[in-house]
Structure 1
Amino acid sequence: MARERATALLVDFDGVLRRWDPAVAAEVEREYGLSSGVLGEIAESWGLLQPVLTGRVSHAEWVSSVADALTPSVGDPTRARAAVEQWQRYRGEVDPEVLAFIREVRAAGIRVGLGTNATDLLDADLAALDLTGELDVVVNSSVIGVHKPAKEYFQAACAALDTPPARVLFVDDEDRAISGARVAGLSAHRWSGPPDLRYLRAALAF
């Protein structure tokens, strides 16, 4: 049976609308004598990351926990804190093609939401990247207390978009999030880069 045509779009932030230059972390690691990739490994360890993505701790508290975990690698808590704070000052870059597509979709009368696992720094990041007002709704895991790929996350996102799941097209660069969205009844597309925009235009039929 054919799916209903999507009438709303839900887009992931990191890896889709926002890009990260890995050279930034690599430079901090070189400057502080750290092993390659250690900042990301510690920061993304689930025991530290899950509480900040569900709003149980603040972004600032998460940064402190990352610095604490990094201290044995640096040998000095002050230097560990400085390394993490220097790394965190970089807030990524907007993919201009994705932003242009979002504007095009909204101009066609289709609601667009940002669906992201994020911290309480998200609003500040959106402002710093000149994205405030570029989306109809922002669904932040740390605000609603549940993260992708949980079914409850996608239910909250569809409610925010005021659109039934079968009418929402979700775009993300992680397989687990795509699987979770499909379980929740959404259409979902695994993002691989701007060439995918041609498919998304066809799927939204505008």
Structure 2
Amino acid sequence: MARERATALLVDLDGVLRRFDPAVAAGVEREYGLSDGVLGEIATQWGRLQPVLTGRVSHAEWMSSVADALADSVGDPERARTAVAQWQRYRGEVDPEVLAFLREVRATGIRVGLGTNATDVLDADLTALGLADEFDVVVNSSVVGFNKPAKEYFQAACAALATAPARVLFVDDEDWAIRGARVAGLSAYRWSGPAGLRYLRAALTPAG
């Protein structure tokens, strides 16, 4: 049985709409004499990351814990704090092709939501990136209290979009998020780059 055509689009932020140049973190690590990849490795340790993604700690508290862990490894708290602060000043870059596509979709009357595992600085990031007015809804895990791929996260997203799960098309670059969305009843497309825009346009174009 064919699925219902999507009438709402839910799109991930990092890895789809926003990209981070890995050279920035590498440059900070090199400048402060840190091992390659250590900033991201410490920050994304699940026991440290999951609380900030579900709103139990703030972004500032998360970064403080990263600096503390880094200081333990380098033996220099001031160097660790300064390195983390410099790393965090870079907030990524918008993919212009994806943004143009989202504007195109909204212009047809399809609701577009941002569905992201994020912290309490998301609104500031969206403003800094010029994205504050680009979505009908923003579904931030740290506000919802659940992170992707939890079913509760996707239920909250569909409620925010005022659209039944079967009518929501979700786009993410992570397999685990795609699986979670499908378990929750959404259509889901695994993003691997702008070549996927052709498929998404077709999926959102009314038949006939």
Query: Corresponding residue for 1:81?
Result: 81
Q: Secondary structure at the match of 1:87?
A: helix
Query: Distance in 1 between the 2:64 and 2:90 partners?
Result: 17
Query: Corresponding residue for 1:113?
Result: 113
Q: Secondary structure at the match of 2:192?
A: coil
Q: Secondary structure at the match of 2:149?
A: coil
TM-score (norm: length of structure 1) = 0.99
Q: Secondary structure at the match of 2:26?
A: helix
Query: Distance in 2 between the 1:155 and 1:202 partners?
Result: 25
Aligned residue runs from structure 1 range 1-206, under 5 A: 1-205=1-205
Report deviation, 1:133.
0.8
Query: Distance in 2 between the 1:130 and 1:157 partners?
Result: 22
Query: Distance in 1 between the 2:27 and 2:133 partners?
Result: 33
Q: Secondary structure at the match of 1:138?
A: strand
Deviation larger for 64-73 or 147-156: 64-73
Report deviation, 1:143.
0.3
One-letter amino acid of the counterpart of residue 28, structure 2: V
| Unmatched runs of 5 consecutive residues or more in structure 2 | none
Write the deviation string for residues 93-139 of structure 1: whole angstroms up to 9, x where unpaired.
Answer: 00000000000000000000000000000000000001011100000
Query: Distance in 1 between the 2:93 and 2:75 partners?
Result: 32
Query: Distance in 1 between the 2:57 and 2:65 partners?
Result: 10
Q: Secondary structure at the match of 1:113?
A: strand
CA contact (8 A) 1:32 1:74 kept: no
TM-score (norm: length of structure 2) = 0.98
Query: Distance in 2 between the 1:203 and 1:73 partners?
Result: 49
Report deviation, 1:78.
1.0
Report deviation, 1:75.
1.4
One-letter amino acid of the counterpart of residue 155, structure 2: Q
One-letter amino acid of the counterpart of residue 139, structure 2: V
Report deviation, 1:72.
2.3
CA contact (8 A) 1:34 1:73 kept: no
| Unmatched runs of 5 consecutive residues or more in structure 1 | none
Structure 1 stretches of at least 4 aligned residues deviating more than 3 Å after TM superposition: none
One-letter amino acid of the counterpart of residue 163, structure 2: T
Query: Distance in 2 between the 1:150 and 1:31 partners?
Result: 38
Query: Distance in 2 between the 1:2 and 1:29 partners?
Result: 50
Report deviation, 1:73.
2.6
Query: Distance in 1 between the 2:166 and 2:190 partners?
Result: 17
Q: Secondary structure at the match of 2:176?
A: helix
Query: Distance in 1 between the 2:100 and 2:120 partners?
Result: 26
Could you tell me the percent identity over the aligned residues? 84
Write the deviation string for residues 154-187 of structure 1: whole angstroms up to 9, x where unpaired.
Answer: 0000000000000000000000000000000000
What is the RMSD computed on CA atoms of the aligned residues? 0.6
CA contact (8 A) 1:25 1:39 kept: yes
